[in-house]
């Protein structure tokens, strides 16, 4: 919020349109952050009658909302730059705006690295989306800095060109987050990871075949459903012991602790 206020003020004072747009970009980030925080808060709610699996997918929904906001900002940056280019109403802003953009870019890059490292450690999709947004902010500030410096050196067309490039990067980042979120919400799952799970199950003593295996992301958790074939002469206790061994191996090798196993005789 502080960075947004500084950029908007300096951009208005110096006439730097790129910095002003950068400040508006940060202002929309506040909205995205609020969406992420709401998603995280909802995801902590315990299961209820209508949500037997809990509310963990609220984090994924929050990531989806953040991607839509980022895409809107990217389109705004591009359209504003194109309008400026068409009008030919270029300005030469005070180079103080370039210093502000450069410093803000460095700050946002550090924030991006911190949030990304934390998101990877706790496997949090919403926080990862926020980290990608932080990276976009750093790129926007960098593009604004280049544009302002170019305008100050007399290359007035560099400002709108940099804005178009940065806007495209923002839209691309938003698309990647949107694709991951919608993939998870539609129960999509990486086939390579699923094959690794299947190999672990199939190598378990007593398992004759893996008839079916499915997995889906549910917030920070992975839910796995498995159908295995075992010797038809085994009793319930022996079949249950095989299921327990599968659960133990999946947790030790893949950190899966939400596994449902159905046993069929062969």
CA distance 81 to 147: 11
- Structural element, H or E, at residue 140: helix 125-152
Same domain, 200 and 167: no
Same domain, 7 and 39: yes
- State whether residue 233 is helix, strand or coil: coil
Same domain, 140 and 242: no
Same domain, 67 and 82: yes
Same domain, 179 and 196: no
Same domain, 47 and 165: yes
Range of the domain at 117: 2-185
Same domain, 121 and 239: no
Per-residue pLDDT at 198: 94
Region 237-249: mean pLDDT is 94
Higher-confidence position of 209 and 91 = 209
Q: DSSP labels for 44-81?
A: TSPPBTTBTT-STTHHHHHHHHHHHHHHHHHHHHHHHH
Give tens-digit pLDDT for 220-238: 788 999 999 999 999 999 9
Per-residue pLDDT at 162: 72
Q: How many domains does the chain have?
A: 2
Give tens-digit pLDDT for 140-157: 788 777 777 777 777 777
Domain end call among 154, 185, 216: 185
Same domain, 180 and 197: no
Please report, for the domain that includes residue 207, its CATH number: 3.30.70.1350
Terminal CA-to-CA distance of the chain, rounded, Å? Answer: 63
Same domain, 74 and 141: yes
Same domain, 94 and 196: no
Asked whether 131 and 73 are in contact (CB, 8 A), the reply is no
Which residues, 6+ apart, have CB-to-CB distance to 186 below 8 Å? none
Is residue 259 scored above 80 in pLDDT?
yes
CA distance 58 to 45: 10
């Amino acid at each position: 919020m502080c960075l947004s206020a500084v950029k908007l003020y300096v951009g208005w004072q110096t006439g730097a349109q790129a910095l002003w747009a950068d400040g508006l970009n940060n202002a929309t980030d506040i909205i995205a952050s609020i969406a992420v925080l709401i998603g995280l808060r909802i995801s902590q709610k315990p299961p209820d009658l209508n949500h037997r699996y809990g509310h963990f997918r609220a984090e994924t929904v929050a990531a989806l909302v953040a991607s839509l906001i980022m895409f809107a900002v990217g389109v705004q940056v591009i359209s504003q730059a194109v309008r400026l280019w068409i009008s030919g109403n270029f300005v030469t802003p005070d180079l103080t705006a370039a210093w502000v953009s450069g410093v803000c870019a460095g700050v946002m890059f550090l924030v991006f690295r911190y949030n990304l490292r934390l998101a990877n450690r706790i496997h949090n999709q919403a926080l990862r989306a926020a980290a990608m947004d932080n990276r976009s902010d750093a790129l926007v500030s960098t593009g604004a800095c280049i544009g302002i410096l170019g305008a100050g050196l007399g290359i007035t067309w560099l400002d709108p060109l940099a804005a178009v490039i940065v806007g495209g990067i923002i839209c691309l980042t938003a698309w990647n987050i949107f694709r991951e979120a919608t993939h998870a919400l539609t129960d999509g799952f990486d086939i390579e990871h699923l094959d690794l799970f299947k190999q672990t199950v199939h190598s378990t003593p007593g398992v004759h075949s893996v008839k079916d295996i499915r997995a889906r992301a549910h917030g920070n958790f992975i839910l796995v459903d498995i159908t295995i074939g075992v010797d038809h002469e085994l009793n319930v206790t022996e079949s249950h012991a095989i299921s327990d061994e599968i659960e133990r191996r999946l947790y030790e090798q893949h950190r899966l602790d939400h596994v449902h196993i159905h046993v069929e005789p062969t």
